[in-house]
Amino acid sequence: MAGRIEDYALIGDMQTAALVCRDGTVDWLCLPRFDSHAIFAGLLGTEEHGFWRLGPAHAADAEPPRAARRGYRGDSLVLESEWDTPRGTVRVTDFMPPRDGAPQLIRIVEGVTGRVPMRSALRMRFSYGRVVPWVHKHEGRTVAVAGPDSVWFDTEIDTYGKALTTYADFTVAPGDRIAFTISWEPSHKQPPPLPEPEQSLEATEDFWREWVEHCTYHGPYREAVVRSLITLKALTYAPTGGIVAAPTTSLPEDIGGVRNWDYRYTWLRDAAITLSSLLRTGYREEARAWREWLLRAVAGDPENLQIMYGIAGERELGEAELDWLPGYEGSAPVRVGNGAAHQLQLDVYGEVTEALHLAHMTGLARNDYASLLQLKLISYLEGHWQDPDEGIWEVRGPRRHFVHSKVMAWVAVDRTIKLIESGDADGPLERWRELRDDIHRDVCEKGYDEERNTFTQSYGSKELDASLLLIPQMGFLPPDDKRVIGTIEAIQRELSTPDGFILRYPTEGQDAGVDGLPGDEGAFLACSFWMADDLAMIGRVDEARRLFEKLLALRNDLGLLAEEWDPRLKRQVGNFPQAFSHVPLIDTALRLTASGAYGG
């Protein structure tokens, strides 16, 4: 069985990523891209679906020992895990070098004390665990081939095959350093170059150290902010600038349930807010690359803006179910692709426009096509902002007039007006000022429940929605407006868990709720950070700090967050690690630091 979600560490090369469990098992790796087929899919099934375990040898009928200590080496994505055994201590260093050529996963075993028997067990299964490759020797190297893919396994240790698995048994003593590497290459090409593990380790550490030096945040939450920034960078697909929402698919929001989605794509919303956090902490190059990705993805068809694209800008992300995988802890179905790609979510126009606006305000070099795109998006909104949509949470029930969607349409128009007022674009200024006023009036009249003094999820509904917490953050209303304060307090009453974390919206157990799905879900971490932000904005800064620090305590030992927190099971749930959790962590840290609301 796969480990708990919080038992995993992330390593990656900004083109794909692997999850490494505390027992030294790589249970998830897609090659060569985030959205490629997995060669290790044990995370969503069993060991039969692919894994690579490297750690102290153990009895066949015993559980693999878990590392006594682990951590990233400084501000990097180089993972170090240490085991204390009766025969001594051993360290394994795992990393993926940033690359131009073949993707590599490198594991270096180092003896610390004593003499420790070790074992590497490598079971490659292509096509998400369905295809057993042909494994053979080629000029002294081990290669696994199936269809278009080949994976090359290199080590100085003798290996042997047994039960369709490649093993290596060896012993390490103090000072020993033994490397193991897998490299992917299209099967019709020449073998990839022999790896150079020690040089690659040094280059990987140098890359991350130099990247982190650009961070402009030096406040009291720097450790959490830097780890979140590194995670966001790791979720960026370097060749194009696209940003995946998470490197995994189908980690459940409700363990044992059906709320399992593929997040290995670029949601405009997630990418836009990620861009905003990077810009606020000094990372302009990532902002420039994402803006170029956006312009390519949307090129020629801005009126049919999708909510998400492939990491190279692909539009077709057809959803399918992998029925041979039982799912994480029995959470089926396992899905690849995402059928929500063609939903109408009007809020995306606001998030994209806000990101372009922030890039402009922070001095990113002007791009005329970006300004033209912004004008085209508003021209579309002008005729469609009154349409119902599926909203920020991608509900699979009927379309509604979601309040958050209308607020973000207002944001799109407002930021475009500011662009025109700055002299960097031309547009129908007076007409769009009237449009901005019309949207604002419509929301305040139809999306506000005067009796309860709160905005509601959609026009005419009684349900609340945590996305309403963004109303003051987007400048739609000032924080001291009684309707804002009333909404914050209503969400605290009706969408808060006993621990004070925030649910997205009400769910209905086994009955289909507003999102059209059965089952419940955990507290949504982004919404909980939004609550901390809002509390700080309305002057309840001590309460905001306490909530923020409770949220920080939910991170795993490596500082990583999934999408949600299950308050019943006291564990992380959802795809992991999740950009949409780490972005508001950064934003809230910046706000609390600016307000002086921190302890110690």
The two tokens of residue 294 are 């956006």
> What is the overall mean pLDDT for the chain?
93
pLDDT per position as a tens digit, 140-149: 899 999 999 9
Confidence of residue 464 (pLDDT cuts 50, 70, 90): very high
What is the mean predicted confidence (pLDDT) over 194-204?
A: 97
Say how far apart CA 407 and CA 444 lie, in whole Å. Answer: 10
E strand spans, 382-481: 448-449, 454-455
For residue 379, what is the enclosing H or E element? helix 368-384
pLDDT of residue 326: 97
Average pLDDT over residues 117-126: 98
Residue (of 540, 539, 544, 507) closest to 529 by Cα position:
544
For the chain, the straight-line distance linking the first and the last C-alpha, in angstroms and rounded, comes to 41
pLDDT class for 80, splitting at 50, 70, 90? very high
Return d(Cα 317, Cα 339) in angstroms, integer: 7
Three-state DSSP class for residue 531: helix
pLDDT at 511 over 50: no
Gap between the Cα atoms of 497 and 569, Å rounded:
13
Amino acid 557: pLDDT: 98
Rounded mean pLDDT, 504-526: 68
Average pLDDT over residues 503-509: 76
Q: Residue 161's pLDDT is what?
A: 94
Residue 318, classified by CB atoms within 10 Å of its CB into exposed (0-12), middle (13-18) or buried (19+), is exposed
Pick the range with the lowest mean pLDDT from 335-339, 370-374, 484-488: 370-374
Unique residue bearing structure tokens 């994976």: 151
Cα→Cα distances 194→105, 156, 162, 171, 526, Å: 13, 12, 25, 24, 43
Give the mean pLDDT of 591-598. Answer: 81
Give the confidence band of 506 by pLDDT, cuts at 50, 70, 90: confident
Cα–Cα distance between 557 and 539 in angstroms, integer?
31
Of the listed ranges 223-237, 270-284, 407-421, 469-483, the one predicted with least confidence: 270-284
When pLDDT is cut at 50, 70 and 90, the band that residue 232 belongs to is: very high
Output the pLDDT for position 209. 97
**Which is it for the CA torsion 273, 277, 278, 280, positive or negative?**
positive
**Residue among 80, 84, 77, 88 nearest 18 (CA):** 77
Q: Cα separation of 261 and 316, whole Å?
A: 16
161-170, 293-302, 397-406, 545-554: range with lowest mean pLDDT? 293-302
- Does residue 567 contact residue 522 with C-beta atoms inside 8 Å? yes
Range 52-83 burial, b when 16+ CB lie within 10 A, else e: bbbbbbeeeeeebbebeebebbebbbbbbbeb
- How would residue 512 be classed by pLDDT, with cut points 50, 70 and 90? very low
Question: Buried b / exposed e across 499-517, counting CB within 10 Å, b at 16+?
Answer: ebbbbbbbbeeeeebbbeb
- Per-residue pLDDT band for 231 (boundaries 50, 70, 90) equals very high
DSSP per-residue letters across 489-516: HHHHHHSB-TTS-B-SS---TTS--TTS
Which residue type does 467 have? S
d(CA 9, CA 234): 12
Distances (CA, A) of 378 to 166, 416, 432, 440, 589: 57, 8, 9, 15, 32
> Residue 14 pLDDT > 80, yes or no?
yes
Tokens representing residue 271 in the block: 């990418």
Burial class (CB in 10 A: 0-12, 13-18, 19+), 162: exposed
Q: What is the pLDDT of residue 520?
A: 67
Q: Cis bond leading into 506, ω under 30°?
A: no
pLDDT at 8 over 80: yes
Q: Which two tokens stand for residue 248?
A: 């995994």
What H or E segment, with its residue span, contains residue 597?
A: none
With a cut of 60, say whether residue 261 has pLDDT above it.
yes
Q: Which helix or strand (DSSP H or E) is residue 51 part of?
A: strand 51-56
pLDDT in tens, 102-114: 899 999 999 999 9
Distance CA 312, CA 3 (A): 31
Q: Which pLDDT score is estimated for 598? A: 56
**Structural tokens at position 48:** 């039969």
Q: SS3 of 72, please?
A: strand
Q: Whose CA is closest to 165, among 149, 187, 142? A: 142
Q: Say which residue, 319 or 519, is predicted with more confidence.
A: 319
Residues 56-84 have a mean pLDDT of: 95
Q: What is the pLDDT of residue 302?
A: 72
Q: Where are the beta strands (DSSP E) in 451-570?
A: 454-455, 523-524, 564-566
Give the residue-averaged pLDDT of 185-214. Answer: 97
Cβ-contact 537, 473 below 8 angstroms: yes
Q: How does residue 519 score in pLDDT terms, banded at 50, 70 and 90?
A: low
Q: Taking a C-beta distance cutoff of 8 angstroms, is the pair 150, 186 a contact? A: yes
Q: What is the pLDDT of residue 600?
A: 41
Beta carbons of 548 and 597 less than 8 angstroms apart: no
User: Residue 43 to residues 17, 29, 78, 262, 436: CA-CA distances in angstroms?
Assistant: 13, 10, 21, 14, 47
